[in-house]
Amino acid sequence: MKRLITACFFIWGIITNLNAQVQQDENTLKNKIDHYLIKGVQQGFSGAVLVAKNNQIILHKGYGMADKENMIPYDITTVSTIGSVTKQFTATAILKLEELNKLSTENTIDTFFPNLPDDKKSITLHQLLTHSSGLVSGLDGGDFEDIPTKKFFKKLFATKLLHKPGTKYHYANTGYSVLARVIELVSGMNYENFLYTYLFKPAGMNNTGYLIPNWKNHTIASGYIYNIINVGTLISRFQKSGKVFWNLKGNGGIHSTTADMFKWYEALKTNKIITRNSLKKLTTPYIQEYDDGQSQYAYGWAIYKSKNNSKIISHNGGNNIFFHDYIWLPQEDIVILLFTNCSSREVEVAWPIQKMMLDANYTPKPIKRSIYQLTYDYITERKSKNPVDLIDEIRKKYSSQIKNPNQLNRLGYRVLKNQLIETNENGKWAIAIFKLNTELFPDNGNLWDSLGESYANNNQIENAIKSYKKALELGQDSNCDWCESSTKALNALLEAQASNK
């Protein structure tokens, strides 16, 4: 008996030590992630992050400001949009209706929409769910353009298909708007009401939706373009209109919190909302997204492989102001949730955190200020009156990341048009930015056109003429949509120059 008791104490000691080691490792990881995000706040990061493993929350915390003007911190109760992660709710709702024998994912949409054009009749719900329907990405107008239901779908179904249904992948928000309408037609309920009744309420998600939740006791995050320009909240726009418009309904715009999205993860993995078979169908990779082959699309989810060759179920959503990332590794039982109200490539931190969770030795590169924030700081804080110093810092910190000429072109125009900050010296800063862009992409005629405009705006006529001539020289052999305006600007400058002589 004494030996048995001794053995029991020995085993208990081993288990206790193992648990203590696990707890120590989790604390070390928590502190590492927390330190990474705290340092990021100094570079402009703000948002909320939740990290959990084996159903235990490791980190759940807000960072930075949800409302800068009123000095309201971002915390774990802050409400913000999940953007296109809305799509997996729509997909889950379709599978719920399939479980209720109300429809099948193999149904063609002419089952629900009468008098369709012939090329649309064979589109299936499966093809809409996997972005393989051939429908256009979106219709003209913004997310808050009020297009009546019949008019919206008549206009959509009158557009030309981009490809034959089922033959290739093309991301289409409109496809999920069609799915949202199918949910309404089949259930007899408003889209949001159906989600609340069959998804959110059973999962205990009281702070997720468009208009149904009572947001009074929550801070709703204000959005900041380039982390600078306050555009307010999206919820206020929903509340003002009293409805969700079809350009957004079903494909984006739902708001939530980190706590609610964690409840959603728990509800999915425990089959609280849909069956195990439906969950498998929801997260099965069906079609390759892009040529690099790194991801496939399921139903409202993108599927990747981790460094361990395990499955990653993920989706993100944003509008270049707000951003949400949802990463779920079912084999490791890891989930990472990110909300931010200052969207930029530099603050998309969920994937670096995912790497930290899988590799204790991985240390991510520090979060950097966005190139827009850097420029704003230079102009407003007068780090230097010489634009060359700004350009040197951009070269040093960002040139390897500037693979698209539109990034600096947009920045240059934001400065030129006083949309980033209004000063009397914006012209010289804009010229410096446009010049750098022509150096990085010397064969892009549109960039020379932009440089010409900035020179003309700054009254440097000779330089403007040279830039416009270079733009037209490069544009003559291409399908040039800016050549006409460039030619007019050049001729006007030449006429003015001649008259002055």
- Domain 371-500 annotated CATH 1.25.40.10: yes
- pLDDT, average across residues 404-412: 87
pLDDT at 15: 55
Task: Out of 133-137, 382-386, 399-403, 432-436, pick the least confident.
Answer: 382-386
pLDDT at 12: 61
Q: What is the pLDDT of residues 349-380, one digit of tens each?
A: 999 999 999 999 999 999 988 888 888 888 87
pLDDT at 22: 47
Q: Are 34 and 353 in contact (CB under 8 A)?
A: no
Give the three-class secondary structure for 467.
helix
pLDDT at 6: 63
- pLDDT, average across residues 408-419: 86
| Percentage with pLDDT > 70 across the chain | 94
pLDDT at 423: 73
Q: What is the CATH number that goes with domain 81-325?
A: 3.40.710.10
Instruction: Reply yes or no on whether the pLDDT at 16 is more than 70.
Output: no
Instruction: Reply yes or no on whether the pLDDT at 18 is more than 50.
Output: no
Least Cα distance to 170 among 124, 136, 122 occurs for: 136
Predicted TM-score of the model (pTM): 0.86
- As a whole number of angstroms, the distance between CA 109 and CA 121 comes to 6
Q: Which of 17-21, 292-296, 349-353 has the highest mean pLDDT?
A: 349-353
- pLDDT, average across residues 247-268: 97
| Percentage with pLDDT > 90 across the chain | 67
Q: What is the pLDDT of residues 222-247, one digit of tens each?
A: 999 888 889 999 999 999 989 999 99
Q: What is the pLDDT of residues 373-404, one digit of tens each?
A: 888 888 877 656 788 888 888 888 887 778 78
Q: Quick one: how far is CA 178 from the chain centroid?
A: 21
Instruction: Reply yes or no on whether the pLDDT at 501 is more than 70.
Output: no
Instruction: Reply yes or no on whether the pLDDT at 174 is more than 90.
Output: yes
pLDDT at 227: 87
pLDDT at 478: 65
- Provide the pLDDT confidence category of residue 80 given band limits of 50, 70 and 90: very high
Which residues contact residue 375 at a Cβ distance below 8 angstroms, ignoring those fewer than 6 apart? 390, 411, 415, 420, 429, 433
pLDDT at 40: 94
- As a whole number of angstroms, the distance between CA 90 and CA 180 comes to 7
Average pLDDT over the chain reads 90
Rg (CA), the chain: 26
Task: Evaluate whether 81-325 and 371-500 have a shared fold.
Answer: no
Instruction: Reply yes or no on whether the pLDDT at 263 is more than 70.
Output: yes
- pLDDT, average across residues 83-103: 98
pLDDT at 368: 86
Q: Residue ranges per domain, the chain?
A: 81-325, 371-500
Give the three-class secondary structure for 79.
strand
Torsion angle defined by CA atoms of residues 116, 282, 320 and 177, in that order, rounded to the nearest 10 degrees:
20
Task: Out of 66-70, 161-165, 227-231, 474-478, pick the least confident.
Answer: 474-478
According to DSSP, residue 65 is labeled E
Cα–Cα distance list, 328 to 208, 251, 294, 397, 419 (Å): 19, 20, 16, 31, 38
**Burial of 291 from C-beta contacts in 10 A (0-12 / 13-18 / 19+):** exposed
Give the three-class secondary structure for 2.
helix
pLDDT at 276: 97
Q: What is the pLDDT of residues 329-348, one digit of tens each?
A: 999 999 999 999 998 878 88
- Return the structure tokens found at 454: 């900035």
- pLDDT, average across residues 126-130: 98
Q: Is the model more confident about 426 or about 358? A: 358
